[in-house]
């Protein structure tokens, strides 16, 4: 999971791109980068860490130009090192090509071997670099046909932005796993993973890029072309975007995330009510489902846990040590609210179970009399191959344990998950979601080698 931004036809493109990265920081905290183009030269700044730490005013000022693309990284292919920081920038036939990619390809090894056999020399261990080599090897007479021929060779999940001199390109895979949105700012256009980025930029939300659509932007003109596969494949929007990843003030998949999470909580209350003194959510993503749950049952909703906002998102940290550290310092229960009370704790999901166990321990230590945990999605039993970093079944607690065993592990008085049917029933785009992590039924052929580091030297 990553955040991507593209800016066209704006005199301060890099500043606008930075604002977009700041709004999309929740999509990746490992590294951030910006590439700009001034009509003659490209300028690049990429560093490990948060966007707000990477780019100061002087650094952004050096990123001159009216075009820019940007990326904030959450690694799902390739290690966390400097060579893998995006955007990727190369020169081909004395012209710059820069790419920023969100998603995971499923035919990576096949394409990697083919391209190497044809003479390509890879500089990173990311599947994202494949796009650059495909573009370089595809005849590029007509712009639209060039892009279609290159992207048609790729399988899996991708939303991406490309900077090709004065062209800003946006593309989304034919099944639309990852979101990509189009906005307008002044005379130019913006591309971003989520609509919340446009709010930060004071840009107008225009629409979502359709699955299989390629938008070609030059100046204030937008042309759309479509991959042939777009009309042949069913949509497979990632439902986990709605449950956890996207910001609640974003609109993706033709719906508002805040409203989706409230509806998930309401449906959870219908399926699994509980008797308690109040309902509390695990910040931040659990709060919205908790609000819907409480409203459905007429129970009080309490903000009984305080989040330390200087600590990043726990789930997307690349190592178990960092995840556990952030669990300990990220959230602090309010003892005076919890002590002696029967509480319903709403969480968006349980992945490995260790984070939930630590949180329940802290709530129990704060004096809760009873803890009834409710999860606003079904048990996650299968790995994701489309851009979420839980690739091993062994990491997923629900793959090996029953709900009762999970409840015993995290030490709650009761534990219930939202049903698959209930979850999908509250989505506006009926029948358009990938739920493979809950069912094991994948909408594409999955790769034989699922190792995140499979392209490492």
User: How does pLDDT run across 122-172, given as a tens digit for each residue?
Assistant: 999 899 999 999 999 988 779 999 999 999 999 999 999 999 989 999 999
Average pLDDT across the chain, whole number:
92
Task: Identify the band that residue 92 occupies on the pLDDT scale cut at 50, 70 and 90.
Answer: confident
More confident residue, 284 or 33: 33
Structure confidence at residue 317 (pLDDT): 54
Which of 323, 339, 321, 342 lies closest to 331 in space, CA to CA? 323
- Rounded to the nearest angstrom, the gap between the alpha carbon of residue 226 and the centroid of all alpha carbons in its chain is 23
Burial class (CB in 10 A: 0-12, 13-18, 19+), 420: middle
Give the span between the Cα atoms of 239 and 349, in whole angstroms: 12
Structure confidence at residue 318 (pLDDT): 55
Prediction pTM value: 0.91
Structure confidence at residue 93 (pLDDT): 81
Residue 44 and residue 358 in contact, taking contact as beta carbons nearer than 8 Å: no
Structure confidence at residue 321 (pLDDT): 57
Element (H, E) at 17: helix 13-23
Question: Region 281-309: what's the mean pLDDT?
Answer: 94
pLDDT digits (tens, 9 = 90+) for 229-285: 988 889 999 999 999 999 999 999 999 999 999 999 999 999 999 999 999 999 988
Give the span between the Cα atoms of 358 and 355, in whole angstroms: 5
Residue 134 and residue 115 in contact, taking contact as beta carbons nearer than 8 Å: yes
Give the span between the Cα atoms of 381 and 352, in whole angstroms: 10
Task: Identify the band that residue 187 occupies on the pLDDT scale cut at 50, 70 and 90.
Answer: very high
Structure confidence at residue 285 (pLDDT): 86
Partnered with residue 238 across adjacent β-strands are: 434
Give the span between the Cα atoms of 278 and 301, in whole angstroms: 6
Task: Identify the band that residue 319 occupies on the pLDDT scale cut at 50, 70 and 90.
Answer: low
424: Cβ–Cβ under 8 A, 6 or more apart, which residues?
Answer: 239, 430, 433, 435
**pLDDT for residue 326 is more than 70:** no
Give the span between the Cα atoms of 89 and 295, in whole angstroms: 50
Task: Identify the band that residue 413 occupies on the pLDDT scale cut at 50, 70 and 90.
Answer: very high
Backbone torsion region of residue 55, taken as left when φ is above 0, otherwise alpha when ψ lies between -120 and 50, otherwise beta: beta
How many helices and strands in the chain, by DSSP H and E?
17, 24
- Domains of the chain from N-terminus onward: 3-233 (3.60.20.10), 256-439 (3.40.50.2020)
3-state SS class at 394: helix
What distance, in Å, lies between the first and last C-alpha atoms of the chain?
A: 23
pLDDT digits (tens, 9 = 90+) for 360-390: 999 999 999 999 999 999 999 999 999 887 7
Strand 31-37, strand 42-48: pairing: antiparallel
Percent of the chain at pLDDT above 70?
93
Backbone torsion region of residue 115, taken as left when φ is above 0, otherwise alpha when ψ lies between -120 and 50, otherwise beta: alpha
CA distances from residue 70 to 34, 60, 85, 87 in whole angstroms, order as listed: 4, 12, 11, 6
Structure confidence at residue 386 (pLDDT): 94
| Active-site annotation, residues | 2
Burial 264-288 (b: 16+ CB within 10 A, else e): bbbbbbeebbbebbbbbbbbebbbb
The lowest-confidence range among 68-82, 114-128, 396-410, 431-445 is 68-82
Give the span between the Cα atoms of 435 and 256, in whole angstroms: 19
CA distances from residue 68 to 54, 129, 178, 436, 453 in whole angstroms, order as listed: 16, 18, 21, 35, 29
């Amino acid at each position: 999971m990553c955040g991507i931004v593209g800016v066209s036809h704006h005199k301060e493109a890099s500043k606008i791109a930075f604002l977009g990265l700041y709004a999309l920081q929740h999509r990746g905290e490992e590294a951030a980068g910006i590439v700009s183009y001034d009509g003659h030269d490209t300028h690049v700044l990429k560093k490990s860490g948060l966007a707000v730490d990477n780019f100061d005013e002087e650094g952004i000022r050096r990123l001159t130009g009216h075009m820019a693309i940007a990326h904030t990284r959450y690694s799902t292919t390739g290690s966390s090192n400097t060579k893998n920081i995006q955007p990727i920038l190369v020169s081909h036939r004395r012209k710059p090509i820069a790419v920023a990619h969100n998603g995971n390809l499923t035919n990576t090894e096949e394409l990697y071997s083919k391209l190497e056999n044809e003479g390509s020399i890879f500089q990173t261990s990311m599947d994202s670099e494949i796009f650059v080599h495909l573009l370089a090897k595809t005849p590029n007479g007509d712009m639209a046909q060039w892009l279609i021929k290159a992207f048609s060779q790729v399988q899996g999940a991708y939303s991406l932005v490309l900077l090709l001199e004065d062209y800003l390109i946006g593309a989304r895979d034919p099944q639309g796993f990852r979101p990509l949105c189009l906005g307008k700012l002044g005379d130019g256009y913006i591309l971003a993973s989520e609509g919340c980025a446009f709010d930060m930029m004071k840009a107008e939300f225009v629409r979502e890029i359709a699955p299989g659509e390629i938008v070609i932007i030059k100046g204030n003109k937008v042309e759309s072309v479509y991959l042939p596969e777009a009309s042949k494949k069913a949509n497979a929007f990632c439902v986990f975007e709605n449950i956890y990843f996207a910001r609640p003030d974003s609109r993706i998949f033709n719906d508002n995330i805040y409203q989706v999470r409230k509806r998930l909580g309401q449906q959870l209350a219908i399926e699994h009510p509980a008797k308690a003194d109040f309902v509390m959510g695990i910040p931040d993503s659990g709060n919205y489902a908790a609000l819907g749950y409480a409203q459905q049952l007429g129970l009080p909703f309490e903000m009984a846990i305080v989040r330390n906002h200087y600590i990043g998102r726990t789930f997307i940290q690349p190592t178990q040590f960092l995840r556990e550290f952030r669990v300990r310092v990220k959230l602090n229960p309010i003892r005076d609210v919890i002590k002696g009370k029967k509480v319903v704790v709403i969480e968006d999901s349980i992945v490995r179970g260790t984070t939930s166990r630590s949180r329940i321990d802290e709530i129990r230590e704060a004096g809760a009399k009873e803890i009834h945990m409710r999860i606003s999605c079904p048990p996650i039993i299968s790995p994701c191959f489309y851009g979420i970093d839980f690739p091993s079944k062994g990491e997923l607690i629900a793959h090996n344990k029953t709900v009762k065993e999970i409840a015993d592990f995290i030490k709650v008085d009761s534990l219930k998950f939202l049903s698959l049917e209930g979850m999908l029933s509250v989505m506006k785009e009926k029948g358009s979601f990938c739920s493979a992590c809950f069912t094991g039924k994948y909408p594409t052929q999955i790769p034989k080698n699922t190792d995140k580091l499979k392209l490492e030297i």
